[in-house]
Homo-oligomer: A and B are copies of this chain.
Amino acid sequence: MSELFEFGKNILESQPFSVLLGTELEVFEPGLANLSLKVRDQLKQQHGFVHGGVISYLADNALTYAGGSVLGDSVTSEFKINYLRPAIGKKLLATASVLSAGKNQAVCQCNVIAIGDDGECTVAVAQGTITRVAK
């Protein structure tokens, strides 16, 4: 386990909301971050799909991680998400990467993929700006 990955896991464990949802860090390398979430009933909306707010949370957090992998301690300043189809399956995986980074900000993109017994499909795409937290 790399030092960066360990750092990322510690951050995630110190986010009570991520603990509540059960988010796991799968990949955390310079310029890349994958976060996943086991789908359970508590995360759904009234039609039985994963709630859009869960998907936007996961995209937002993966974007922050991707940006943070090159900037250090960071927050999401803004992002935009398009939902492509209803999210069903056993697991959500958000894969985010850095498109461009300066000293204080990075622009990142993220795909959210739903993985089920029958395969996987992209359920949302997001794009946003991550900003380094001034110390």
Contacts and interface: CB of A to CB of B under 8 A. Distances in A.
A14 B45 CA distance: 7
Count of this chain's copies in the oligomeric assembly: 4
Main secondary structure of the interface of A (DSSP, over half): mixed
B100 A17 contact: no
Interface in A74-93: 75-85
18 contacts: A11-B46, A16-B44, A17-B42, A18-B45, A20-B42, A47-B133, A52-B57, A52-B61, A52-B75, A53-B61, A56-B60, A56-B79, A78-B82, A78-B83, A79-B81, A80-B127, A85-B100, A109-B109
Given A20-B20, A77-B129, A78-B129, 19 more contacts: A15-B51, A16-B43, A17-B44, A17-B51, A17-B53, A17-B54, A18-B51, A20-B43, A47-B133, A52-B75, A53-B58, A54-B57, A56-B79, A77-B82, A80-B81, A82-B127, A84-B99, A84-B107, A109-B125
